[in-house]
């Protein structure tokens, strides 16, 4: 089934692209969430008019993401967690914890944009990548220390 993406969808495509997907994926996930619309002849004509708006919106979003990445470059987060004698945490530090720490410093970032390969289970210092836009990735320093 061919669809037109209305928003960027991870591992599928970017806004304004025409992609082939399984009918069930389109019907049950993409269409109800308004992430895509069917690629009918009328919608394809509408897509040409929408591309101008997409280009303007994309430019402003990328500019805002670049500015936010510059602000995030100097941010250092410190989290205190209970840990055992071998520096293993009782629990772990997840993307939600990083998002909360950023919110405490005034940065509203969705936890789905924070790209930890795995949850952090050891004390130490880490570089946490945050994907703000397609090509814009900021890096934040995170220090996990033992709770006193």
CATH of the domain at 30: 3.40.5.10
Tokens 């940065």 belong to residue:
107
pLDDT of residue 29: 94
CATH of the domain at 104: 3.10.430.100
Closest CA to 136 of 54, 80, 73, 55: 73
Considering the domain architecture, whether residues 51 and 87 belong to the same structural domain is answered as: no
Considering the domain architecture, whether residues 81 and 57 belong to the same structural domain is answered as: no
pLDDT, tens only, 120-143: 999 999 999 999 888 889 999 999
For residue 103, what are the domain limits? 70-146
> What is the Cα–Cα distance from 46 to 39, expressed in whole angstroms?
10
> What is the Cα–Cα distance from 24 to 45, expressed in whole angstroms?
25
pLDDT of residue 148: 74
- pTM value? 0.72
Considering the domain architecture, whether residues 78 and 141 belong to the same structural domain is answered as: yes
Considering the domain architecture, whether residues 74 and 96 belong to the same structural domain is answered as: yes
Total number of domains constituting the chain: 2
Helix (H) or strand (E) holding 142, with range, is strand 137-146
What is the chain's mean pLDDT, rounded? 90
* CA of residue 84 relative to chain centroid, distance: 32
Considering the domain architecture, whether residues 42 and 85 belong to the same structural domain is answered as: no
pLDDT of residue 83: 92
Considering the domain architecture, whether residues 57 and 75 belong to the same structural domain is answered as: no
pLDDT, tens only, 26-36: 999 999 999 99
pLDDT of residue 55: 81
Closest CA to 133 of 47, 46, 74, 57: 57
CB atoms near residue 116 (< 10 Å): 18
- Among 35, 61, 87, identify where a domain stops: 61
Beta partners for residue 127, in sequence order: 141
Q: What is the band of 46 on the pLDDT scale with cuts at 50, 70, 90?
A: confident
Check pLDDT > 80 for residue 94: yes
């Amino acid at each position: 089934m061919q669809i037109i993406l209305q928003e960027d969808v991870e591992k599928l495509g970017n806004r304004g692209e025409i992609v082939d997907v399984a009918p069930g994926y389109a019907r049950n996930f993409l269409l109800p969430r308004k992430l895509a619309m069917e690629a009918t002849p009328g919608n394809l004509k509408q897509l040409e008019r929408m591309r101008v708006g997409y280009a303007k919106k994309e430019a402003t979003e990328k500019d805002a993401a670049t500015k936010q990445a510059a602000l995030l470059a100097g941010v250092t987060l410190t989290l205190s967690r209970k840990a055992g004698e071998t520096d293993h945490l009782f629990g772990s530090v997840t993307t939600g914890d990083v998002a909360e720490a950023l919110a405490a410093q005034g940065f509203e970032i969705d936890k789905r944009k924070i790209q930890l390969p795995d949850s952090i289970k050891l004390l130490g210092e880490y570089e946490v990548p945050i994907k703000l836009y397609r090509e814009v990735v900021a890096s934040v320093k995170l220090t996990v220390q033992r709770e006193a």
